[in-house]
Amino acid sequence: MYRVKKQLHWEKAIEQGITGQNVTIAVLDTGIATHPDFNNRILAFRDFVNKKKNRYDDSNHGTHVSGILAGNGMLSGGRYCGIAPLANLVVGKILDEKGNGTIEYMQEGIQWIIENREKYQIRILNISIGTDLADEIAIKTIMNCIESAWKAGIIVVTAAGNKGPKPMSISPIGASDMVITVGCHDGGYFGEKNNLCENYSGRGPTQYALKKPDIVAPGTEIISCNANIRKIHGQYSNAYVAKSGTSMATPIVAGACALYLQKYPNAQNEEVKRRMLYSATDMKENWTKQGWGMLDIEKLLK
């Protein structure tokens, strides 16, 4: 997260006191673990898989994503804090310990978020999930479900998926115009290193929206909160872990949305999306790989 924030010119936001404070981001994923970097900013948790009451993450995916979004970096002296380190979180567990879920879990999760958007002041929904759905009816069902959140005024940020680089490999969850679809690009940080996220990030177009992805952000070896953190004799260990994928790039963009909404609280989702895309940095890549380009937080907030 330290190098990501440098790449995306995040420091200017913090200098201006823009931290995502009082903005709530919903996360549909594998859950969230108790971690000091979230302190008391997890407003609600609902388990649609196992129906447990207390929050948990048996996969470690959702905790990592949430750390990228809104971890305050307390255990790292701020080095690994998220993009919106003072934002609030509402978390729905719709994936099991293997990262598998159902359309029904997704529908229930989104409906719960829509119903509670005013109670928790939910402005953003992060869905760092890919899917292999091939059935046309199933794809339409899940797209309609996601679009219902956008129509309710929520900014929906979704992953392009990790099925690239073939054309039309965008995850169906990110195929709609009523989402911000995020692909990976590390901006040359790793040089010619193999297995960069950008090499397998989902590619456009899609049969529903020709220009996809919308935007890209770093997604390789992102260090964020670890659900398997341990506390022994008052000391924490194993607090952070590195992961790669469009799942990691997505909360970077969602976190940037939270910064924008703190500065411009009356902005609507369409405005936020347009501003984000128009302020992106062209990486001189094919549109099907980079969309409008790399997220630039300083330009976004100007």
Give residue 165's Cα distance to chain centre.
Answer: 21
Handedness of CA 66, 70, 74, 79 (dihedral sign): positive
Does residue 61 have an active-site annotation?
A: yes
Instruction: Tell me if 139 sits within 8 A of 116, measured CB to CB.
Output: no
Query: Whole-angstrom Cα distance, residue 181 to residue 175?
Result: 8
142 three-class SS: helix
Catalytic residue among 59, 201, 244, 247: 247
101 three-class SS: coil
Kindly state the helix (H) or strand (E) to which residue 96 belongs, with its residue range. none
Does residue 9 have an active-site annotation?
A: no
The phi, psi pair for 151, rounded to 5°, reads -65, -25
- Best CA proximity match to 60, nearest among 187, 300, 248, 210: 248
User: Sheet of 88-93: strands edge to edge?
Assistant: 42-47, 88-93, 24-29, 122-127, 155-159, 180-184, 215-217
Catalytic residue among 57, 59, 61, 128: 61
Kindly state the helix (H) or strand (E) to which residue 184 belongs, with its residue range. strand 180-184
Kindly state the helix (H) or strand (E) to which residue 276 belongs, with its residue range. helix 269-278
92 three-class SS: strand
Task: Give the residue numbers marked as catalytic.
Answer: 29, 61, 247
